Structure 1
Amino acid sequence: MRMLLRTHLDATNGSEAIKSGALQKVIGAFMEKFKPEAVYFTVENGNRSGLYVFDLKESRQMPELGEPFFDLGCKVTLTPCMTPEDLRAGWAAAGL
């Protein structure tokens, strides 16, 4: 299932994680393992934030992808998402 992973890291923890190389390592490992189709970095609510769109094959993968970010002090959200084609197919299946 296509998912949107959002990670948010405050300035203090983020600076420490960048200086130590821990953040780069966690992001690199996530990208190598889950091969996201899109990745964006931004600032949300004063936090360093990452947005990753990727395919979650099984729900049991949630701890595997989340724990490394949690270890850095990140707030993590995971939300199913759709492409426009998925939405059209969903509407058709719903009879809309």
Structure 2
Amino acid sequence: MRMLLNIRIPHEPFNAFVRDGSVGALIERILEETKPEAAYFTEQNGTRGAILVVDLEEPSHIPKFSEPWFLTFNADCEFRVVMLAEDLKKSGLEMLGSKWK
């Protein structure tokens, strides 16, 4: 199932990893291990953040995607189910709309 993994990264220990030069290798290691479909890095509420698109084959795989961020950066992680336009087309919205008028 396609999921949006929203990651909020606190300033520490991230700043320490930036200062010692290891942050790039740490992020690369996490991305190589988890293999997201896409990874975007951004600001979130005044802190660093990332948004990943991941394929969650089953709920037991949640730790595979979140623990590297928790353990490495003390980050907060949230998962949201997302759909492509093709998925939305298959959802039966028209039928649901007529049923729930």
Fold conserved between structures, TM > 0.5: yes
Identity of aligned residues (%): 32
* Contact 2:4/2:53 (<8 A) preserved: yes
Shift of residue 79 of structure 1? 1.0
Secondary structure, counterpart of 2:17 in structure 1: helix
Q: Which amino acid is 1:78 matched to?
A: F
* 39-48 or 12-21, larger mean C-alpha shift: 12-21
Q: Distance in 2 between matches of 1:10 and 1:37?
A: 24
Match of 1:18 in 2: 18
Larger radius of gyration: 2
* 33-42 or 48-57, larger mean C-alpha shift: 33-42
Secondary structure, counterpart of 2:52 in structure 1: strand
* Contact 1:34/1:55 (<8 A) preserved: no
Q: Distance in 1 between matches of 2:25 and 2:44?
A: 19
Q: Number of aligned pairs?
A: 94
Q: Distance in 2 between matches of 1:60 and 1:94?
A: 33
Match of 2:9 in 1: 9
Secondary structure, counterpart of 1:78 in structure 2: strand
Q: Distance in 2 between matches of 1:30 and 1:2?
A: 18
Match of 1:37 in 2: 37
Question: What is the RMSD of the two structures over their aligned residues, measured on CA atoms?
Answer: 2.1
* Contact 2:34/2:64 (<8 A) preserved: no
Match of 1:80 in 2: 81
TM-score scaled to structure 1, two decimals?
0.81
Kindly provide the CA deviation profile for residues 21-80 of structure 1, in whole angstroms up to 9, marking residues without a partner as x. 25642x323322332222110001011001001211121111122112111210111111
Q: Distance in 2 between matches of 1:58 and 1:30?
A: 19
